[in-house]
């Protein structure tokens, strides 16, 4: 059986390791951004993302219009059913 002190130490060690891992990922991310900004790659990616967002938004709106039309059709069909 481990003592509360040992459990606390284990948890603190795990927390420190996790924090170091996050810090290392942030460093890698920062270096990647600096590299890609110097290569003007991020600007090209931003343009592509904007284009893809436009396509996705158009498709989402088209799907919404389809469901809206289907809903109106169902409502009109239900209006034609005999009422009890």
pLDDT tens by residue, 39-83: 666 666 667 767 767 777 777 777 777 777 777 777 777 666 666
User: What's the start-to-end Cα distance of the chain, in Å?
Assistant: 72
pLDDT over threshold 70, residue 8: yes
Residue 5 confidence class, pLDDT cut points 50, 70, 90: confident
50, 44 contact by CB (below 8 A): no
Examine the domain organization and report whether 52 and 64 are in the same domain: yes
Q: Are residues 19 and 34 in the same domain?
A: yes
Examine the domain organization and report whether 11 and 24 are in the same domain: yes
Both 32 and 51 in a single domain? no
Cα(38)–Cα(84) distance, integer angstroms? 73
Residue with tokens 């003592």: 3
Among 31, 60, 33, 61, which residue's Cα sits nearest to residue 45?
Answer: 33
pLDDT tens profile 21-45 = 988 888 888 888 777 766 666 666 6
State the Cα–Cα distance between residues 56 and 10, nearest whole angstrom.
47
Q: 34 and 45: one domain?
A: no
* pLDDT for 15 beyond 70: yes
The pLDDT score that the predictor gives to residue 39 is: 64
- Number of structural domains (the chain) is 2
**Same domain as 29, residue 57:** no
pTM over 0.85: no
Residues 81 and 46 in one domain: yes
> Tokens 């290569």 correspond to what residue?
39
């Amino acid at each position: 059986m481990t003592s509360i002190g040992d459990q606390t130490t284990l948890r603190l060690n795990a927390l420190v390791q996790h924090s170091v891992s996050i810090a290392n990922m942030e460093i890698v991310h920062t270096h990647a951004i600096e590299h890609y900004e110097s290569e003007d790659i991020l600007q090209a990616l931003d343009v592509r993302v904007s284009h893809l967002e436009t396509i996705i938004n158009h498709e989402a709106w088209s799907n919404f219009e389809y469901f809206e039309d289907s809903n109106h059709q169902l409502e009109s069909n239900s209006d034609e059913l005999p009422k009890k």
